[in-house]
Chain A
């Protein structure tokens, strides 16, 4: 009986971690499967977003306030992971920017964004 309750509890209270796993999976799948380069970059972004969600979930304390001075005192959600995520988001944005710049160049040189076609041209 206790075991069952535990299972249900597990399912309902940890939903953000499931979301994390889902996002990681979707992102990875897009990275590997889709032949379009832009979609790969999108997949990369989704993958990173999953990680961001993971960090934020770590920070949460039930019944706590946002870690901003004006939002009332008392227990704060841990601000450290939030700071880490801000940095990581910036990193992710730069990476996406570089990746897209490269894609623009690839498109102008090869005329295609399809991975399989590119492979043929590359090893020509």
Chain B
């Protein structure tokens, strides 16, 4: 069984996803236990794989036993392993949160497991078209999850997400077509060699690159292709926004990196400087525009969504610099951002449940009413700003060092600026939480119906069921653990670096 681990990683969640639907013949609450068992299995398999990868460097698997390069190959190297571990950890955290908070229907957990399948598949696949398939699986599950909000606007947000996401994925597919035309193969490693043989200045190759990267950029939600993100995050249930914000864009960014380094390689970036500079330009604009848009938001969840736009700009900039240190930094930031953003959405969900506050103004004085959630929120926000020793700083430092070594000064300047830009929107929240008079009266906060001092648009309509206002210990534990991890993961960075240094040199020469 050991040699089948990579494919089991994908098969387990998909089978697990079918089970709640079967179980709904008997009970409607079987979803959560099944999901937990499936994810624990997923985590166990990831752990076993980790041991193998640490020892051997790369684990490959031919699906169905078909020989390469005709069959589909699954490849788990250090970079992929880091992302798989992240998927397992975040899923378990969100499940702990969703036990009390989230939607309780079986179908929700089916979709969740389907999403995990898609994400895992995207991470471990070694085939370009297989990536498209898993990308679409991820997308479909995500659209469904976003639509599981009770309010009508959830459906509109999901439809918008669907349309924009499909355009992106279709562009990616078109790019795959061009690559197929150029090389005749779909296997990533094989394509690597064949693209080099065709020549990096050929129109086919350039078009393929542009389309594939462009399509994935929509999924990563860089400016200006991010417009689906704020609506989707703001209208979905808390558990869903925590999950999607932490993982979907993250794995898409990983896929972009995989494309950049395993298929097109750094040589392509060197041979076609326009490509590298285009990526850097888009990333830099994202950093600045995302922060600027975040500052002007009054809804906290939309602010966090725009913050993601900015942070992913940082990550893509790190990948575009393409030196080993910068790539390590981008990966560290990818992982760290997932933990922190997921924690932030979870904390904002808790605050909204307990007090009804979901706008920046409403957060005033909540530091004393929801001390644990507000404290965790502040720690996570400081981590995002980049206050050392949180992991947000470590990723930034590595990318900065890489950029300075590669002498790409615009990236250095924008990255240094990003600290101040991120501070601009998080400092307001921190100040409101602790140093301002509450604007939401105590009695009105407990009510679920949406009237009271909360303003014209009731936010609780947009939440799914479970808006009774009660917050369980499990939910609080999740945000506290996220806050602790934001700092503690810094200690794990050397291990991650070592893992990546086994993988990166052949990729980045």
Contact = CB atoms under 8 A, between A and B. Distances in A.
B170 A48 contact: yes
A55 B143 CA distance: 27
Contacts of A91: 133, 136
B68 interface: no
Contacts of A124: 457
A106 B155 contact: yes
Interface residues of B, number: 28
B162 A51 contact: no
Contacts of B163: 31, 40-41, 44, 99
Contact of B129 (A51, A54, A84): A84
Contacts of B129: 84, 87
Interface string A74-116: 0000001100100110010011001100110110011000000
18 contacts: A37-B159, A44-B163, A44-B166, A47-B170, A51-B173, A58-B180, A80-B186, A81-B180, A84-B180, A87-B129, A88-B173, A98-B143, A102-B147, A105-B155, A106-B155, A106-B156, A109-B152, A109-B155
Contact of B152 (A84, A94, A98, A110): A110
Contact of B181 (A41, A58, A106, A109): A58
Contact of B136 (A44, A95, A102): A95
A36 to B, nearest CB: 13
B177 interface: yes
Contact of B162 (A81, A99, A118): A99
By secondary structure, the A interface counts as helix
A58 B177 contact: yes
B153 interface: yes
B22 interface: no
Interface string B147-160: 10000110110110
Contacts of B170: 47-48, 51
Interface residues of A, number: 31
Interface of B: 129, 132-133, 136, 139-140, 143-144, 147, 152-153, 155-156, 158-159, 162-163, 166-167, 170, 173-174, 176-177, 180-181, 186, 457
Nearest to B139: A95
Contacts, number: 73
Interface in A1-59: 28, 31, 37, 40-41, 44, 47-48, 51, 54-55, 58
Contacts of B186: 80
B152 A106 contact: yes
A48 B162 CA distance: 14
A81 B186 CA distance: 10
Q: Which are the 6 A-B pairs with shortest beta-carbon distances?
A: A109-B152, A105-B155, A102-B159, A91-B136, A106-B155, A102-B155
Contacts of A54: 174, 177
A47 B156 CA distance: 21
A124 B143 CA distance: 23
- The residue among B143, B163, B181 with the most chain A CB atoms within 10 A of its own CB is B163
A28 B474 CA distance: 46
A37 B167 CA distance: 15
A44 B136 CA distance: 14
Nearest to B153: A122
A95 B166 CA distance: 8
A31 B181 contact: no
Contacts of B143: 98, 102
Given A44-B166, A110-B152, A98 B173 contact: no
